[in-house]
Amino acid sequence: MTTQTLNGTSRPISRPLAVAVNSTWRENAACAGKEAEDFFSDTPGTQRRVRSICHNKCPVLVRCLATILESEGERGYKWGIYGGLTADQRRALRCEAILGNVPDLAQARMLTSLKWRHVLYPMRYRGANPTEMAQELEAYGLSVSPVTVRIAVWWLGGRAPVLPRRGAGDRRSDWQLIRDECRTVVLQLRDGGATGYDIAAYLNVRRGAVEEAVRSWNRDASASFSTVGEEMAA
Ligand code: SF4
């Protein structure tokens, strides 16, 4: 048990913090004085409440996310909510980085302003994915990358899926969709060092769906997927 809070002041907590507690920017954090345990909760309701503190009240949201992304780097193990994102969402960002997709965090923050929420919400309700949303935003004179839109949607509480959209009457399950349409990207991520957990987080599916797709590729006699299968079975 230590005596640090999430913002480096003096309440007792039981787990270490990944973000450097000596950084002066943390003095302005909205989590100052909040129970650190809440930021490491597995309960969806608590996670939603905590993320809402980050999104809606924290003046250092962008700095916090940039810092945790840098400090976690390529380490496979991520936990807790930092910068308004869950560990899985940060895993997805690791995959985005492998794919060469670098977000503009300040621009993502701008997209969560009232003005841009009114533009993004209708797109979300229509089920647009981040790539489609980025294309639509061009009509507003805004050049923004899909990964930047993805972070903005996450900060606004949405899902921002990247799995290919199913057409009308397409009853394929997630694993079948991955099997049929995501082989190239899964290989690319695997070759870039992403774990099965990372890939599942990137695709926003259960890990089992990725495992099942990998098994189907392996059954098709492609030994090239065996390392993904072994790692995911571990
Ligand atoms: S973004 Fe969230 S975790 Fe980071 S400093 Fe702000 S309130 Fe704390």
- Residue 202 CA, ligand 1 centroid: distance in Å: 22
Q: Which two three-digit tokens encode residue 22?
A: 């000596």
pLDDT of 60 > 70? The answer is yes
Residue nearest to atom 8 of ligand 1 (CA): 31
**Closest to 129 in 3D by CA, of 142, 145, 146:** 146
Mean pLDDT of the chain: 84
Q: Is 83 in the pocket of ligand 1 (CB under 6 A)?
A: yes
- CA 95, 97, 101, 104 dihedral sign is positive
pLDDT cut 70: percent of the chain above it: 83
pLDDT for the residue 141: 95
Neighbours of 157 (CB within 10 A): 12
Rg (CA), the chain: 19
- List the beta bridge partners of residue 13: 2
> Taking residues 96-112, what's their average pLDDT?
96
Angstrom distance (rounded) from CA 95 to CA 198: 7
Residue with tokens 């939603």: 48
> How many whole angstroms from 110 Cα to the centroid of ligand 1?
17
Distance of alpha carbon 228 from alpha carbon 110, whole angstroms: 37
pLDDT of residue 42: 85
